[in-house]
Chain A
Amino acid sequence: MGRYVLRRAGQGIFVLWAAFTISFFILYLLPSDPAALMASGGGETDAVDPALLADLRAQYGLDRPVLVQYADALWHAVRLDFGTSYSSGASAGALVLQALPETLKLTGAALVLAVLAGTGLALASTFPRARWVRQLLSSLPPLGVALPTFWVGLLLLQWFSFQIPVFPAIGNEGAISLVLPAITLAIPATAGIAQVLARSLRGTLTEPYVETARAKGASRARVHFAHALRNAAIPALTVLGVLVGGLLAGAVVTETVFSRVGLGRLTVMSVNTQDIPVVQAIVVFSALVFVVVTLVVDLVYPLLDPRIDVRRTAVTA
């Protein structure tokens, strides 16, 4: 077990390093001149004083060879230092950490909502005897993934903040301000979970071992919940990493729509001002979230699926 965790952790570190490298090359090598971007703050890059540019380059070390810059950046990143923000001068890492709590509240609420609603919808669209009920409910997830998040957010605002003023339109004050953004963010995730789990359930229900269960005289509910659900949950679990990443990305749009502060808002502001160090810190952070979630899923897996643990012990036995 210990060696397994160690190996998976090693793979996670590789993913983080690769995410850092890819983002470094995208952000520092693609633009013709980061210093010009810096000086212009997202505006036109032509009319900038050359002397100022040279100063900036020297100040941020952009006049050194690329590989030296990369090695230096990597060395700092290992110590969680992603450089200083071009626009505010604060540490990029600190800015991310500062924005994080509000976004965690939002994505956490949305994740809980999505897992509950998605699982419920998947079961409700496969269990009922009546075919039309299943068909009707099965048509909801494809609809859910086709809705633009920003549009859903605006519609909710329109109905529940302006037409019927139940929830505040903007801001971060209190749990009540979390309701509409969390629902907005949860909708595509719910649809995604429901789609994957329902598809997996439908596949599982045609497996021969389900027929064995039915031949035992097991009731419909027993077949569905005791046999099919657990088997179906296993492949569905693997999408969790991508799902949480999607929530993080969705926060960019959601926080903009509801004018909330948080990581998403920070992302938008940094892209607007082409604040490279902050954007890179955010990208690497999102990869970190993915790695951690995937690692947790991998550790939970053997509890659900004995085959995985079995293989590992069997080969040594």
Chain B
Amino acid sequence: MSEPLLEIEGLEVGYRTRGGGTYRAVRGVDLTVARGEIVALVGESGSGKSTLAHAALHLLSRGGSVTAGTIRLAGRDLGDLTDKEWEQVRGREIGLVPQDPTVSLNPVARVGDQVAEVLVIHGVARRKEARRRAVELLRQAGIDDPEARARQYPSQLSGGMRQRVLIAIAIAARPRLLVADEPTSALDVTVQRRILDHLDGLVRELGTAVLLITHDLGVAADRADRLVVLERGVVVEEGPAEQVLRDPQHPYTRQLIAAAPSLSSARLVVGGSVAESSRPVGRPDGSVLAVRGLRKEFPLPRGAARRSLVAVDDVSFTVRRGETYALVGESGSGKSTTARLALRLERPTAGRIDFEGTDITDVRGRELRRLRRGFQVVYQSPYASLDPRFTVEQIITEPLRAYQVGSASERADRARSLVDDVALPAEVLRRGARELSGGQRQRVAIARAIALHPALVVLDEPVSALDVSVQAQILELLVRLQAEHGLTYLFISHDLAVVRQISDHVGVMQAGRVVEQGRTDAILLDPQETYTRELIAAIPGRRALAGLEESR
């Protein structure tokens, strides 16, 4: 290994808690990044990975401080720098690519000026010269027509372009180290791939070292020379990326690899095989939900160039009993709007929706409420979808109360069995939703959705808000419940890797249309449309997987 650039030894970072104690977010971490090396720091939420990144820049949020250990940059101890001296280091020696590009640029300043500011601050260039260099930097970051873009404001740029501006800012003063804190996780997969490719090329060309912070093992495996796995503030494993993937030593690493949807390729099944015979036989054609020529327009505000926006355009698909049909697409593809139309939370502009052979396109009022018993929903964010004032029991029994199912004590019994069904201990019933973790909350939301024995459950990105290991558990739970209760799922997701694990059929959506649909394995193995191919290629971890296969 070449000479070390960043050396972190025995680093401890603590947050002052309100009770007067200290929460140890980072505990005795050793980490080195060599010159020109890309090191990925992988961990789930609460692992302390972001805290570590901010400690390296002396940008810890209020209440956080380094309590022990040393941080050295090119041999210089950063521990006792004054605030003034840190201002010389940040931007000049260490650059930061922040998390969310949509909020990380000053909304009232032109992007060119924001890039030029780095050069001015560090005395690299004067005003006019800095402005000229900023345009060059934007071009380097992969922005077309940088002269025009430099004069624009952040709100005029797409998320991907904003992230490129942030990259230009980070590399402007040619720092030797870049800290990239989840640089692309707020972006669509295809954009994510293009930006990471570009960043990859750029840093290798400039010889910049990168500390890449990510929750996505696939991204880490694709991009990094070395992986460092962090669990609850402790480094549990580190080594060359390929070696860690092929031969993980620590159980947590193994668990992470097993859970990462992008690194596995099989459909999840219960007990090794899909219990085909246990599936109930429904209507002759077996369809639970059928939509035909579905269209939804949203009126645009006055003054817009167009009167309305077509969110869903001529969408048709059928969900068969006992199966999982997945709609996959990037943001703005109309997949969630389609789900909301199927749930009749929105009224379609045109088209027809049949639920168990009944046309429900235009039913309303009492009749619609009666039908709602048959189709229930699980939302993306378990933090937003549960009333913070309710106990778990109140949440789960709410649909039962609404349809006056059973007596109060019968409903309590049912709540107990439902909680058991989703593998939560009975004592959570009395607790408030806010006392539970994200994974536990999502289990509660699932229990509520199946309380009425619905024929169809619409799962709107049900695992996207969760950490990978929790994600895997919830997916397994969904598969088990489907087998046990003969449930039919409409599964909405942006993540083909997840879709591959859970669905039988898939429809790929782009700009409101279903561009391709069919059996999941068929589509993944042999995609016909360019867009589908692009989506599949963008699944992180493929490069690493390919590398592994070859070496085997």
Contact = CB atoms under 8 A, between A and B. Distances in A.
Interface of A: 207-209, 211-220, 222, 227, 230-231, 234, 304-307, 310-312, 314-317
A208 B103 contact: yes
A213 B107 CA distance: 12
A79 B91 CA distance: 63
Interface stretch (B29-37, B94-102, B232-240, B280-288): B94-102
A306 B90 CA distance: 28
Given A208-B104, A305-B108, 5 more contacts: A211-B104, A215-B59, A216-B90, A227-B109, A234-B108
B88 interface: yes
Contacts of A213: 106, 117
Interface in B289-307: 301, 303-305
Interface residues of B, number: 37
Given A307-B153, A315-B303, A227 B90 contact: no
A207 B109 CA distance: 15
Given A216-B117, A314-B156, A211 B98 contact: yes
Given A211-B59, A211-B104, A217 B88 contact: yes
Nearest to B179: A215
A310 B154 CA distance: 10
Given A209-B103, A209-B104, A209-B106, A218 B95 contact: no
Nearest to A4: B303
Nearest to B156: A310
A231 to B, nearest CB: 6
A209 B108 CA distance: 11
A227 B114 CA distance: 10
A26 B321 CA distance: 65
A311 B301 CA distance: 11
Contacts of B169: 212, 216
A215 B96 contact: yes
Contact of A304 (B98, B106, B108, B304): B108
A314 B152 CA distance: 11
Nearest to A230: B108
Contact of A217 (B89, B103, B153): B89
A221 B91 CA distance: 17
B110 to A, nearest CB: 8
A307 B107 contact: yes
B513 to A, nearest CB: 24
Nearest to A219: B87
Nearest to B90: A217
Contacts of A214: 59, 90
Interface string B145-173: 00000000101100000000010011001
* Residue among A215, A218, A314, A316 with the highest chain B CB neighbour number at 10 A: A215
A312 B302 CA distance: 10
B108 A217 contact: no
Nearest to B121: A217
B122 A217 contact: yes
B104 A307 contact: no
A311 B109 CA distance: 15
Contacts of B96: 211-212, 215
A212 B166 contact: yes
B492 interface: no
A220 B83 contact: yes
B153 A310 contact: yes
Interface string B11-22: 000000000000
A234 B107 CA distance: 11
A17 to B, nearest CB: 22
Nearest to B94: A215
B100 A208 contact: yes
Contact of A212 (B105, B301, B303): B105
B327 to A, nearest CB: 29
Contacts of B104: 208-209, 211-212
A216 B95 CA distance: 7
B92 interface: yes
A316 B306 CA distance: 9
Contacts of A317: 305
A236 to B, nearest CB: 14
A168 B375 CA distance: 79
B92 A217 contact: yes
